[in-house]
Amino acid sequence: MLDTGADAPDFELQNQHGESVALSSFDGRVVVYFYPRADTPGCTTEACGFRDRWDEFDEAGVDVIGISDDPVTDLEAFAEEYDLPITLLSDEDGAVASAYDSYGEKSMFGNTFDGVFRNTYVVEDGEIVATYEGVDPEGHAGEILSDLR
């Protein structure tokens, strides 16, 4: 994990609509959360948690960005299926996740592979102000909101 107080690595990736989005284009606080795979149980729970509390994030002036190594087409389908207002970004080669210490070797069912770790950062004016490592998707949005208050 990157440390609080560190500069947040800037990035530019395509969103679920195929548009280019840069971290530096956001003002104020931004939740940048990394998740392994769109439309899987844990990732859906986490994304829907942000969706269900979207008004609270909006009222607090906090943007939410979800990043995975899924292709743009998968992100588009995921956002549409669950009516997600979140900006979802495609990091297919894992470069941005790597810059955030959120990509690397994982194992599941006896297989080893590279993938995205479920980590979250809160960034304010280009600086990391909070970190969450290996988060539990259930209730994560509420945890962040509580900490931001």
| pLDDT value at residue 109 | 82
Return the percentage of the chain with pLDDT > 70, whole number: 100
Domain ranges, ordered by start, for the chain? 12-142
CA distances to 38, 101, 120, 145, 148 from 1, in Å:
22, 5, 9, 20, 19
Active site residue 48: no
**Which numeric CATH code is attached to 12-142?**
3.40.30.10
Q: What is the pLDDT of residues 44-99, one digit of tens each?
A: 999 999 999 999 999 999 999 999 999 999 999 999 999 999 999 999 999 999 99
13, 21, 31, 43: the catalytic one is 43
As a three-state string, the secondary structure of 50-104 is HHHCHHHHHHCCEEEEEEECCCHHHHHHHHHHHCCCCEEEECCCCHHHHHCCCEE
pLDDT at 108 over 80: no
- Average pLDDT on 105-132 reads 91
Cβ neighbourhood burial of 144 (10 Å; 0-12, 13-18, 19+): buried
pLDDT-derived band at 111, boundaries 50, 70, 90: confident
State both tokens at 113.
């592979």
- Look at residues 79, 61, 59, 101 and name the one whose alpha carbon lies nearest to residue 15: 79
> Does residue 135 register a pLDDT over 90?
yes
Average pLDDT over residues 34-38: 96
pTM of the model: 0.95
Whether residue 68 contacts residue 34, with contact meaning beta carbons closer than 8 Å, is answered with: yes
